[in-house]
């Protein structure tokens, strides 16, 4: 073999390998992720889609390098085979049909065993970043993720296919069938949709074949479900996630979940517990998967009826996504707060509440491969989404670090203090906590005063500006000052994320005209007229139209609705993307009518 023919063989082998990959992965990606995305939503494993374009681009690039590695190893096998070193044969009669079938299953068993132990080893901290980190860039995998490996992992993945032809007599047809089965299994394991039917995980023998949910959970939850083809190694070694079978079955039970006419879910209160000061936590047990598979930091809206009036209020979720089979809302009573006071004084265990699915633009999606440093800044009740984010990072991003700056009036008003202290001790190398108390003299283990520019400078000096990513949630006056301080200190805008808490409404007035508005809210249509100089939300509230809202400042996105008729002018927008605007979405709290007729509805 000359150098020229060697490289020609590699190019041909690469073309063949990548063609196999394209033939399997691309059709599945197009059908499930593009063309049939809405139709197949009912069997999507992770209800909250987290995969973005940069994930697809990343996966394609590393898949190409994987098949280059595979091609080089293929060429060596073919060369050695031509010299008579392998035990590959073509005539079935040479070993008979019994060995033909048996050898296929022996190859699968050995491949599956090697994959389990090598995969598990690659999750060890000393090996992870050199082998497996690249593959775990995608926590919401797609068919394109199936072979997105670092070159070092690609060698490991192909090891059995490289070695076995030298150890066992394998028919060429068995090798091709093995390749097809392996590639199809890998694509389905990363599909993101459950194509194995209901009851699969309970069927005799078949339950040992991994369903799509099995490997999807590995990408989402990281430490567990290491198997490739069969579940028995995970079962034998105790590394299978306990709720694997339950999660698989729940995908097919979503259609049985009863919603209200307005699309609201009914959740049952399983526990109510007091937190610090005026805060309390509502726990909902045995919730549908959409309330476990959300993004840390998101919120939901509760519908309550108080003295004949229907009110909607938004609260951040304090539980950690994909950790427990429950959802919690931690709420702080506020002066003259109709809904918070009503819930605190009247809600009981066993009661049901109607709620929306989780949503919101202030969120954090953990990826096990991340090695970030988060600076979490919270003020008072603003700790709620931050708490969920911290718990998520500690559980799912073992290489990331967190610095928490948490401001309160006094030590008795620190929400989640016991749990934060527990985390600080358990994850001492990962979590750093600084408390700030404004109204307590000589505070113990805390700083007297507020979070200031000096506080931020100390963090920047200690850890370096380029390495930090900031998440802020608290009173508007506090976050406004800190946002300005971060800008002054040169922190890039895309490194700062903010959610407001207890926000005051803006009062800016702009030109608008009276308009007849038709608003479809949670399945019911309301007609009302707007007043000149007032937003759609202001006019709706005055006429008791239950439009959803929270901050009234164009920052939380709770009042986002789709405008299908008419035009509006949006005064302030910190939420809507260019795509949202093109599709007709508006923020009712910031929208002034520019036409005589406006039609809007819930997204």
Domain ranges of the chain: 3-196, 265-355, 373-501, 516-601
- Share of residues in the chain with pLDDT > 90 (%): 72
How many Å apart are CA 21 and CA 10, to the nearest integer? Answer: 16
Fold classified for 373-501: Rossmann fold (3.40.50)
Taking residue 168's Cβ as centre, other Cβ atoms within 10 Å add up to 16
**Positions of E strands within 380-529:** 401-408, 431-437, 447-448, 468-475, 496-501, 516-521, 524-529
Identify the pLDDT of residue 307: 87
DSSP 8-state secondary structure symbol assigned to residue 193: B
Backbone φ and ψ for 76, nearest 5 degrees, come out as: -65, -40
Q: How many CA within 13 A on the CB side of residue 352?
A: 10
Contact 593, 513 (CB under 8 A): yes
CATH of 265-355 among 1.10.10.10, 1.20.140.10, 2.40.30.10, 2.40.30.30: 2.40.30.10
Residues listed for the chain? 603
Q: Which whole number is the average pLDDT over 421-438?
A: 96
Backbone φ and ψ for 451, nearest 5 degrees, come out as: -75, 125
Least confident of 33-37, 108-112, 243-247, 556-560: 556-560
How many Å apart are CA 211 and CA 217, to the nearest integer? Answer: 11
User: For the segment 451-491, what is each residue's pLDDT rounded down to a tens digit?
Assistant: 999 999 999 999 988 889 999 999 888 999 999 999 999 99
How many Å apart are CA 230 and CA 111, to the nearest integer? Answer: 11
Identify the pLDDT of residue 501: 58
Which pair of tokens denotes residue 506?
């803006």
**Positions of E strands within 49-93:** 88-89
More confident residue, 52 or 513: 52
- pLDDT higher than threshold 60 for residue 170: yes
Q: Which whole number is the average pLDDT over 90-111?
A: 96
> Among residues 290, 260, 284, 286, which one has the least CA distance to residue 272?
284
Tell me if domain 373-501 and domain 516-601 are identical in fold: no
> Among residues 474, 289, 272, which one has the least CA distance to residue 384?
474
Taking residue 426's Cβ as centre, other Cβ atoms within 10 Å add up to 10
Residue with tokens 């919120």: 299
CATH 3.30.70.1520 fits 516-601, yes or no: no
How many Å apart are CA 321 and CA 294, to the nearest integer? Answer: 6
How many Å apart are CA 438 and CA 449, to the nearest integer? Answer: 4
Which pair of tokens denotes residue 291?
């309330």
> Among residues 270, 274, 269, 299, which one has the least CA distance to residue 418?
274
Identify the pLDDT of residue 380: 92
Taking residue 131's Cβ as centre, other Cβ atoms within 10 Å add up to 23
Residue 378 neighbours by CB under 8 Å, 6+ apart: 386, 387, 404, 405, 406, 407, 472, 473, 474
How many Å apart are CA 418 and CA 204, to the nearest integer? Answer: 46
Residue with tokens 């040992």: 208
Identify the pLDDT of residue 505: 37
From residue 192, alpha-carbon distances to 22, 143, 185, 306, 537 in Å are: 17, 8, 13, 42, 38
Backbone φ and ψ for 215, nearest 5 degrees, come out as: -80, -30
């Amino acid at each position: 073999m000359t150098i020229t023919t060697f490289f020609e063989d590699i190019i041909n082998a690469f073309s063949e390998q990548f063609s196999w990959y394209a033939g399997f992965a691309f059709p599945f990606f197009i059908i499930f992720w593009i063309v049939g995305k809405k139709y197949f939503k009912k069997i999507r494993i992770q209800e909250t889609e987290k995969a973005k374009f940069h994930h697809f681009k990343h996966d394609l690039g590393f898949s190409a390098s994987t098949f280059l590695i595979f091609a080089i190893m293929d060429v060596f096998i073919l060369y050695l085979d031509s010299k008579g070193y392998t035990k590959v044969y073509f005539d079935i009669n040479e070993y008979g049909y019994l060995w033909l079938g048996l050898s296929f299953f022996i190859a699968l068993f050995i491949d599956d065993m090697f994959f389990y132990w090598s995969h598990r080893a690659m999750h060890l901290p000393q090996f992870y970043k050199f082998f497996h980190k690249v593959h775990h860039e995608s926590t919401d995998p797609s068919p394109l993720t199936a072979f997105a490996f670092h070159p070092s992992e690609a060698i490991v993945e192909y090891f059995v296919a490289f070695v076995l032809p030298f150890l066992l007599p394998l028919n060429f047809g068995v090798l091709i069938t093995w390749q097809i089965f392996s590639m199809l299994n890998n694509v389905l394991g990363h599909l993101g949709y459950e194509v194995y039917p209901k009851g699969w995980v309970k069927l005799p023998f078949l339950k040992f074949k991994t369903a799509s949910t099995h490997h999807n959970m590995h990408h989402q939850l990281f430490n567990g479900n290491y198997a490739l083809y069969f579940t028995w190694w995970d079962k034998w070694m105790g590394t299978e996630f306990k709720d694997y079978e339950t999660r698989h079955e729940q995908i097919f039970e979503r259609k049985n979940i009863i919603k209200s006419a307005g699309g609201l879910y009914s959740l049952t209160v399983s526990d109510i517990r007091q937190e610090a000061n005026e805060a309390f936590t509502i726990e909902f047990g045995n919730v549908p998967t959409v309330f476990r598979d959300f993004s840390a930091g998101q919120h939901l809206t509760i519908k309550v009826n108080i003295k004949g009036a229907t009110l909607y209020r938004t609260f951040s979720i304090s539980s950690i996504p994909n950790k427990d089979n429950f959802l919690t809302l931690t709420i702080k009573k506020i002066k003259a707060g109709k809904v918070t006071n009503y819930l605190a004084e009247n809600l009981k265990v066993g009661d049901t509440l109607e709620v929306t699915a989780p949503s919101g633009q202030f969120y954090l999606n953990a990826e096990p491969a991340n090695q970030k440093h988060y600076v979490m800044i919270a003020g008072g009740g603003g700790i709620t989404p931050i708490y969920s984010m911290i718990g998520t990072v500690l559980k799912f991003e073992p290489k990331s670090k967190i610095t928490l700056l948490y401001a309160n009036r006094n030590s008795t008003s620190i929400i989640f203090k016991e749990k934060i202290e527990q985390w600080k001790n358990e994850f001492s190398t990962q979590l750093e906590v600084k408390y700030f108390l404004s109204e307590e003299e000589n505070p113990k283990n805390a700083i007297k005063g507020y979070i200031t520019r000096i506080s931020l400078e100390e963090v920047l000096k200690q850890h370096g500006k380029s390495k930090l990513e900031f998440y802020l949630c608290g009173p508007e006056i506090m976050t406004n000052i800190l946002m300005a301080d971060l800008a002054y200190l040169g922190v890039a805008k895309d490194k700062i994320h903010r959610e407001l808490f207890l926000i005051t409404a803006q009062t800016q007035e702009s030109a608008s005209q009276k308009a007849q508005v038709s608003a479809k809210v949670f399945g019911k249509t309301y007609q009302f007229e707007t007043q000149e100089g007032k937003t759609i939300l202001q006019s709706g509230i005055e006429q008791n139209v239950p439009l959803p809202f929270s901050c009234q400042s164009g920052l939380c996105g709770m009042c986002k609705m789709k405008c299908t008729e008419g035009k509006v002018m949006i005064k302030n927008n910190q939420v809507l993307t260019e795509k949202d605007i093109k599709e007709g979405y508006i923020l009712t709290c910031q929208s002034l009518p520019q036409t005589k007729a406006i039609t809007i509805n819930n997204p």
